Chain A
Amino acid sequence: MNRTLFALSAQAVVGRRRGVVLLLLPLALVGLAVVVRLLTSDAVGVEATVGLGYTLALPLVALLAATAVLGPEVDDGSIVYLLAKPVSRHTIARSKFAAAWLTTTALGALPLAVASLVLDSAHPGRALALGAAGVVAGTVYTALFLGLAALTRHAVVVGLLYTLFWEGVIGSVLSGVKWLSVGAWGREVGHAVDDLVDAGGTGLGYAVVAALVVSVGSVWFAGDRLRSFTLRGDE
């Protein structure tokens, strides 16, 4: 961790237009929760609303945050100035991850808990569980997308295909996808905190180990890619 790098990365995440879109996503979720709460009586629509936040808003926030800390610098080539500094590439990766992780937690996981509280204030345990699930899934998503951003220029599209196509479309057809689905791991942890959250179906032990392995591995991989970085022109 390097505080200067952390501050610079944080600036890149929330700066200008990206910050606006990053804010709009959780606002849309909480706004939807408020509208649903006002229009319906008792806890109808918690599943639909929170499911939307968990399967769409959270991965998108993580993707925006993780690619923001690395993508633009690689695109315009200014990352060579950063890599020329006498700082370990792994430290760079970790600092960037820290900035992205903080954003994902604040704007991806926290709104889940807030939306759950708005819709169903009788069960604060559910909000806590959803928050926990969001933090776990958000951490893995952020690390995974950071690794992708260090690997390829098409990190955003690959990340989108992973969350929307692999986890969403394929995952709804083939149940075996849950073993390779970040969302299922997070749900499993949420289920362990409170029964009201559906289990992912992989077992808590597997979910925790898989989440840890992928997170640590991805951040290390990002650092390793930066260590042997080659700059390519625009295609």
Chain B
Amino acid sequence: MAESTSPRGTDDAGRSVIHDLGYRPYTGPRLGSTAIARSLVLTGFRNAFGLGRSGRSKVLPFLLLGLNLLPALIVAGIMAFVGLDRLPIGYAQYASTTQVLLGVFVASQAPVLFSRDLRHGTIALYLARPLPSAAYAVARWLSLLLATLVFLVLPVVILYAAALLTELDVSDQTREAGVALGLAVLLALSLAGVGGIIASWSTRRGFAVVATIAFLVIANGVVTAVQGIADGEGSTRVAEVAGLFSPYSLYRGLMGAWTDADTLAPPTGAGMVAAYVVVLVGLSAACVGALVARYRREASA
């Protein structure tokens, strides 16, 4: 038996040592960093919804997702039975209406992806692999981004299906849904960045959740208050500039500029719209950069 199974021991007897038990080494293909990163993204994406984790951790994300989809399903039902000639709520407006649920989802699931490895020290196991720390940070961020996108895109898909099934104008609906998808990507980019950076900064779960919500909701509240007052005073320029200071108000502004949704002080003029996009993308890029720096520090510590 030992004669045929041991690849090294028997072929040249001179190099055989007494400890060679004949275990065969792994000779199959070894996947590189790309494959590690890809599976990390996929696992993280599943973990964000509690898949592959305990039953108790599935409750919260799916409860939030259900609450988020409920209005869309109701709208679809109304469309089917009453037969309206337009959707009662715009595709892009939907995310703005349910922004609280979206914020709570990102805030509560970001610590799942970012805090636990840091708090329990398992980050050392990841960083001991060939995967660079920057790739780990980006992979985690991508997982959160994908999960946020699912949260944002599913209602749009439901509304779109409802609109098509009740035979509204296909080209109009497709264009509006497309704009909503673009906006959803922009919002998800910034939310995932903000949620990630706060969750990796504070590894206490409860605290990270409140800090993220405080940032998102209070900033939005302050901006809305300033916009309302400035608009009432007649200085629309101030109101437009104020909109640059929170992710939700940026989303709302772009929604006002790109769709026919009625919003407070949407940016006017190509320059201002461009500024909104640049700030939104820049915020996301800055957050990813900070995440990469955060994990590089972790790797060298």
Using a CB–CB cutoff of 8 Å, the interface residues on chain A facing chain B are 17-18, 21, 24-25, 28, 32, 35-36, 39-40, 44-45, 48-49, 51-52, 56-57, 60, 63-64, 67-68, 71-72, 75, 154-157, 160-161, 164-165, 168-169, 234-235
Contacts and interface: CB of A to CB of B under 8 A. Distances in A.
A67 B230 CA distance: 36
- The 5 A-B residue pairs whose C-beta atoms are closest, nearest first, are A156-B206, A48-B225, A45-B229, A52-B221, A164-B100
Contacts of A160: 104, 107, 209-210, 213
A45 B104 contact: no
B210 A57 contact: no
B107 to A, nearest CB: 8
B225 A49 contact: yes
Q: Is the interface of A mostly helix, strand, loop or mixed?
A: helix
Interface residues of B, number: 39
Given A36-B225, A157-B108, A60 B100 contact: no
Given A28-B218, A157-B108, A164-B100, A67 B206 contact: yes
B67 interface: yes
A192 to B, nearest CB: 26
A164 B229 contact: no
B16 to A, nearest CB: 48
B57 to A, nearest CB: 5
A39 B221 contact: no
Contacts of B224: 48
A60 B218 contact: yes
Interface string B19-39: 000000000000000000000
Interface in B82-111: 98, 100-101, 103-104, 107-108
B104 A165 contact: yes
A233 to B, nearest CB: 9
B202 interface: yes
A168 B100 CA distance: 9
Nearest to A169: B100
Interface in B189-244: 201-202, 204-207, 209-211, 213-214, 217-218, 221-222, 224-226, 228-230, 232-233, 238
Contacts of A234: 116, 120
Nearest to A149: B206
Contacts of A165: 67, 100-101, 104
B175 interface: no
B210 A64 contact: yes
A137 B102 CA distance: 26
Given A17-B202, A57-B218, A235 B233 contact: no
Contact of B229 (A17, A40, A156, A169): A40
Nearest to B221: A52
Given A28-B222, A160-B209, A165-B67, A21 B229 contact: no
B274 interface: no
A235 B56 contact: yes
16 contacts: A21-B211, A39-B229, A40-B229, A40-B233, A48-B225, A48-B228, A71-B204, A71-B207, A154-B60, A156-B205, A157-B107, A161-B104, A164-B103, A164-B217, A234-B120, A235-B53
A218 to B, nearest CB: 18
B4 interface: no
B171 interface: no
B54 interface: yes
A98 B221 CA distance: 29
A155 B67 CA distance: 18
A63 B210 contact: yes
A164 B213 contact: yes
A191 to B, nearest CB: 22
Contacts of B211: 21
Contacts of B214: 21, 24-25, 60
B247 to A, nearest CB: 16
A193 B201 CA distance: 43
A31 to B, nearest CB: 9
A60 B233 contact: no
A164 B104 contact: yes
Contacts of A156: 108, 205-206, 209-210
A25 B224 CA distance: 16
A161 B61 CA distance: 13
A202 B217 CA distance: 27
